[in-house]
Structure 1
């Protein structure tokens, strides 16, 4: 179970203010490209699940992570979601993006894809073709900071219909982490609000919340 604090920033100016304030604590930046997949008949989404391939286009250390997420709940700026991740070869990930049928061929070598076959397709891979389709995706620039014992991620997410700015912080004590972050934001006059939808939900809606 992944548990995260999620706070939305109102605009790009607020985003720039916050990243300037956190600059002394910056540890890395990720250039991410997220792509999502479902069965042609909605086999995953019908059970509140989604398959994601995330490319980290960080030079020189590119990598690709396949992830199965399910049963997401976002209440009062705290997200809880069942999440399972696995790294796959970057070039294979690109092949899957170009041809989603390639994902079915990973069943024997990729734990995540075996789960997808067994849990959402009844163990039947139709001779290596699960019938998965790519739903599209979005790009995300993620700045990571280590601050007061927390790992804070500040995202600039680029959808076709606009940009979203968000703070994320994974924590086993989300209420305490949220209180600490909110105190910092208020002290520095940084506007924010609780996030009300996941990035994937916003992507699927086709509009900013």
Structure 2
């Protein structure tokens, strides 16, 4: 179970103000490309699941994920998530180009074995592309509070959103700390009401 605090920023100005405030703890920035897949008959989405391929910094890294049963309330997200590295990343690109190969060309993948179980007939199982979006992620380590922070600028075809995320086993404490920090630095925010994937599927920014 992945547990995260998710705080939505209203615009690019708030994002820049927060980036400046977090700059002493900045570690690195990743360019991410996220591509999503479902069964041809909606077999995954009907059970609140989705397959994702995420590419980092072009083709430097590729990660396969299965996410399921996402819940988001009061700025705290909980989602069942499994991840696997795809090596080499060029294989991930080939699979993204021909999604039907996802179920056949990753023979040692526990995720793909689980995905096959979503289909009543494995012989006719097929994954199809849903599309995706790009994300610029700045990663920060706030050592004093023991928090890893991710400041996101997410670029959809229909607009751009901004969000601060923090994966933590203590979401209530982290949320309290982060809200106090944002208020102290005059950064406006609200609790995120939908995941990035949900925004993508809605086809519009959610406010």
Tell me which interval the TM-score lies in, with the shorter structure as reference length: over 0.9
Residue 6 of structure 2 is matched in structure 1 by 6
Moved over 4 A (4+): none
Choose from 119, 135, 139 the match for 1:140: 135
Q: Does 1:151 align with 2:154?
A: no
Q: Does 1:74 align with 2:69?
A: no
User: Normalised by the size of structure 1, how large is the TM-score?
Assistant: 0.94
- Deviation at residue 107 of structure 1 after TM alignment: 4.6
Residue 104 of structure 1 is matched in structure 2 by 103
Distance 1:57 1:145 in 2: 17
Q: Secondary structure at the match of 1:108?
A: coil
- 8 Å CA contact 1:104, 1:125 repeated in 2: no
- Deviation at residue 109 of structure 1 after TM alignment: 2.0
- Structure 1: any 5+ residue segments left out of the alignment? none
- Structure 2: any 5+ residue segments left out of the alignment? none
1:153-192 maps to which residues of 2 (within 5 A)? Answer: 153-192=150-189
Distance 2:200 2:92 in 1: 21
Q: Secondary structure at the match of 2:104?
A: helix
Residue 94 of structure 2 is matched in structure 1 by 95
- Deviation at residue 53 of structure 1 after TM alignment: 0.4
- Deviation at residue 106 of structure 1 after TM alignment: 3.0
- Deviation at residue 58 of structure 1 after TM alignment: 5.9
Q: Does 1:56 align with 2:56?
A: yes
Distance 1:168 1:32 in 2: 15
Distance 2:17 2:121 in 1: 50
Choose from 87, 110, 126 the match for 1:131: 126
1:24-63 maps to which residues of 2 (within 5 A)? Answer: 24-57=24-57, 62-63=60-61
Residue by residue over 1:116-153, the C-alpha shift from the partner in whole angstroms, topping out at 9 and shown as x without a partner, is 012x0147144xxx321100000000001111210010
Q: Secondary structure at the match of 1:189?
A: coil
Residue 20 of structure 2 is matched in structure 1 by 20
Distance 2:100 2:40 in 1: 11
Distance 1:58 1:27, change over 3 A: farther
Distance 1:48 1:181 in 2: 29
Q: Secondary structure at the match of 2:187?
A: coil
Distance 2:160 2:174 in 1: 25
